Amino acid sequence: MRIDLHTHSSVSDGTDAPAELVAAAAAAGLDVVALSDHDTFDGLADAGEAGERLGVQVVRGIEVSAQYRGTSVHLLGYGCRADDPALLAELTRVRRGRGDRVPAMLANLAAAGMPVPGEVLARHVGTSPSVGRPHIADAMIELGYVADRREAFDRWLADDKPIFVGRYATPLAAGLDLITAAGGVAVIAHPWGRVSRHQLPASLLAQLAASGQLDGVEVDHQDHDRATRAELRALAARLGLLATGSSDYHGAGKDDHDLGCNTTTDEVLAEIAARVGARGGRL
Ligand code: AMP
Ligand code: FE
Ligand code: FE
Ligand code: ZN
């Protein structure tokens, strides 16, 4: 089977509506696709419906904004009960932090000579409950300040660039526990990607594996080069962590992240399903 366990819809910072994303997954020849929007479950109902119609298994996912010692860490949760009160309360807190930082980023943009009117930004956020920098990037593109999201991040919005403003994110250990307590399986997304390569050492992953808090790591991801993938795959095998692969598709929002460009094996998906079943979650 062709299995892609990490994608984003327009419910967060992707550009396809959930049903469009599932249709694109079918067209790309995927048998299984996880919708893993940032900090919200809101797209799962539409995606699941489209999956039934189109014969694609839709895995119920989420990507939680966490942090470890101030460095951003993204946690993929699979099969969480979407009505778990503790998890929902934390996601609300994270999304509020997303909204609260926007005025400061708009002020930074104005100060840099790139005013972004609120209504322009609002058009790009649309109905997403989870506003993010990619929406600001899209407004900057519309206003002619940058050519694409990549330029917006590279010049202005990345964590070390002048427009960036930090926001609340869940402490790593708490995020892992919230996911598993809600019946889910917890996988660290792109652990050795651009932001977190040196902040998430093997020793930390070993500790999280030994404590049983962490189920797996996303090995095959576009932010990992060949050598990084090999190193991380060997580490996962040594630590007994599941190794996943996925596209991190964002529709037109991210180049080089086509659906199915990386995939997860049938065996790993079966193990995820078994753990979700044992924890009382719903895949
Ligand atoms: P935020 O959610 O506001 O912290 O913004 C982070 C999001 O921006 C990530 O989830 C990615 O989808 C996106 N992103 C980060 N870096 C880049 C980049 N260089 N190019 C395009 N999108 C990016
Ligand atoms: Fe994103
Ligand atoms: Fe991510
Ligand atoms: Zn993602």
pTM of the model: 0.97
**CA distances, 17 to each of 4, 11, 23, 43 (Å):** 17, 7, 10, 8
Residue 101: φ, ψ to 5°:
-85, -10
CATH number of the domain where residue 244 is located:
3.20.20.140
Give residue 112's domain range: 101-157
Q: Does the residue 163 lie in any domain? A: no
Same domain assignment for residues 113 and 204? no
Same domain assignment for residues 75 and 179? yes
Q: Does the residue 213 lie in any domain? A: yes
C-beta atoms surrounding 98 within 10 Å: 22
> Nearest bound ligand to CA 72?
1
Q: Does the residue 96 lie in any domain? A: no
Task: Domain count for the chain, please give it.
Answer: 2
Please indicate whether residue 254, judged by its CB atom, sits closer than 6 Å to ligand 1. yes
Same domain assignment for residues 83 and 178? yes
C-beta atoms surrounding 267 within 10 Å: 9
Same domain assignment for residues 23 and 77? yes
Same domain assignment for residues 87 and 223? yes
Same domain assignment for residues 141 and 233? no
**CA distances, 40 to each of 65, 174, 240 (Å):** 10, 17, 29
Same domain assignment for residues 10 and 82? yes
Q: Does the residue 162 lie in any domain? A: no
Give the mutation target among 39, 133, 156, 218 for probing the ligand 1 site: most ligand atoms within 8 A of CB. Answer: 133
Same domain assignment for residues 179 and 87? yes
Nearest CA to ligand 1 atom 1: 132
pLDDT tens per residue, the chain (283 residues)?
999 999 999 999 999 999 999 999 999 999 999 999 999 999 999 999 999 999 999 999 999 999 999 999 999 999 999 999 999 999 999 999 999 999 999 999 999 999 999 999 999 999 999 999 999 999 999 999 999 999 999 999 999 999 999 999 999 999 999 999 999 999 999 999 976 677 899 999 999 999 999 999 999 999 999 999 999 999 999 999 999 999 999 999 888 999 999 999 999 999 999 999 999 999 9
Atom nearest to 154 CA in ligand 1: 19
Same domain assignment for residues 228 and 249? yes
Same domain assignment for residues 22 and 109? no
CATH number of the domain where residue 127 is located:
1.10.150.650
Q: Does the residue 11 lie in any domain? A: yes
> Nearest bound ligand to CA 155?
1
Give the mutation target among 8, 109, 153 for probing the ligand 1 site: most ligand atoms within 8 A of CB. Answer: 153
Q: How far apart are CA 78 and CA 276, in angstroms?
A: 8
Q: Does the residue 208 lie in any domain? A: yes
Please indicate whether residue 129, judged by its CB atom, sits closer than 6 Å to ligand 1. no
Q: Does the residue 22 lie in any domain? A: yes
Q: How far apart are CA 216 and CA 197, in angstroms?
A: 16
Q: Does the residue 182 lie in any domain? A: yes
